[in-house]
Amino acid sequence: MISAIKIPGEFMTEALVQVENLSRYYQNNCAISHLSFSLKAGEVLGFLGPNGAGKSTTMQVISGNLAPSEGEVTIAGHDIIEAPREAKRNLGYLPEHPPVYRDACVDEYLGYCARLHRIPRARVPQAVDRVKQQCGLEQAGNRLIGNLSKGYQQRIGIAQAIIHDPPVVILDEPTVGLDPIQIREIRELIRSLGSERSVILSTHILSEVQATCDRVQIIRAGELIYNATTESLNQGHEHSVRIALRKDIDHEQLFAIDGVDHVDAIDAGRFRLFLAPGANPDALLAASVQQGWGLYELIPEQQSLEDLFIELTHTEEAARQ
């Protein structure tokens, strides 16, 4: 488990990460457009978007590796441009490609990272031991990084990001190229990190967000198009039920049922009914009994994050064409 971190009292209720009207241009190409959001301690934010949406650019600007063209980024109360040293002391960053030295052993590399973060020399061994325990690297201290699996190298990348115990952690595609067991282990580590820190997880893997995040944001072409908690992801969105009837009926009869917004025919006797928010399928059951339709199958289908992602990003793309 992650050890308790000391976050100043004023930041326990205020935002540790504050992004306001953030834009980034590459000549005439707009990679990020007027992006705004905030993040408090104990929140894990899933930052989603298709390839080329601006996720990595956003992470680089927030971490201070790229200057914004417009807008402000504040980390634990410090502006990333006006007070970069103070801001970065409160920030840990794992880029898409972990910045590990393959010819160094794990202990050497983490000790080097600790000194880069100005951890007093006497406390370096303690800091290295702490992150090795947190990241499951206890048995790898003397191993050459280049001889370790990609999963272990990702762990080392996360270890260097948290060795100075920052209240804000940014992880850019932390599970790319890992096998299912490694992915599960990294997800558990991310959940532990988010117990008291603010964590931003940039990814295009939807199941990763559902498994680890408290909140979801989706960007498309550098613009924020969706922002909600994972708990409320499906609340307020249209959901559907799949039914099978023994009697051949016209789909207009189903559409006439109270609460049914749309009907799609699947095949003979099978339909998908899209229900309005808050609608109860009891009206469907009552109509089936009253009309003698012979309902023998009813399967609820809640809209998934994948459905929502495809719907939003495709809608945005169609609107631009």
Which sequence spans correspond to the domains of the chain?
1-90+166-237, 99-158, 239-302
- Which contacts of 148-155 are long-range, i.e. CB under 8 A and separated by 24 or more positions? 148/106, 149/182, 150/177, 150/178, 150/182, 151/178, 151/179, 151/181, 151/182, 151/185, 151/186, 153/98, 153/100, 154/98, 154/178, 154/182, 154/186, 155/185, 155/186, 155/189
> What are the backbone angles phi and psi of residue 134, rounded to the nearest 5°?
-65, -35
pLDDT in tens, 1-58: 333 334 444 444 578 999 999 999 998 899 999 999 999 999 999 999 888 889 889 9
| Matching CATH number, 239-302, of 3.30.70.100, 3.90.79.10, 1.10.540.10, 3.40.50.170 | 3.30.70.100
Q: How far apart are CA 301 and CA 195, in angstroms?
A: 31
Model confidence at 207, pLDDT cuts 50, 70, 90, reads confident
Give the whole-angstrom CA distance, residue 275 versus residue 320: 29
Mean pLDDT of 180-204: 87
Tell me the three state secondary structure of residue 228. Answer: strand
Q: And the tokens for 24? A: 């980034």
Query: Of 152, 22, 144, 170, which is closest to residue 91 (Cα–Cα)?
Result: 170
Checking if the pLDDT of 236 tops 70, the result is no
* pLDDT (tens digit per residue) in 57-68: 999 999 999 999
Single pTM value for the model: 0.74
pLDDT band, residue 233 (cuts 50/70/90): low
Cα–Cα dist 227/136, whole Å: 33
Residues 62 and 174: their CA atoms lie apart, in Å, by: 17
CATH code reported for the domain at 1-90+166-237 = 3.40.50.300
87, HSE (Cβ side, Cα atoms, 13 Å): 20
CA gap 72, 96 in Å, rounded: 23
Query: Measuring CA to CA, which residue among 85, 313, 39 is closest to residue 200?
Result: 39
Residues in the chain: 321
Kindly report, residue by residue over 133-173, the tens digit of the pLDDT: 989 899 999 999 999 998 899 999 999 999 999 999 999 88
Q: 313 or 77, which is more confident?
A: 77
Sheet of 78-79, strands arranged across: 29-40, 15-26, 70-75, 78-79
Query: Over 80: is that where the pLDDT of 87 sits?
Result: yes
User: If DSSP codes are grouped into helix, strand and coil, which group holds residue 319?
Assistant: helix
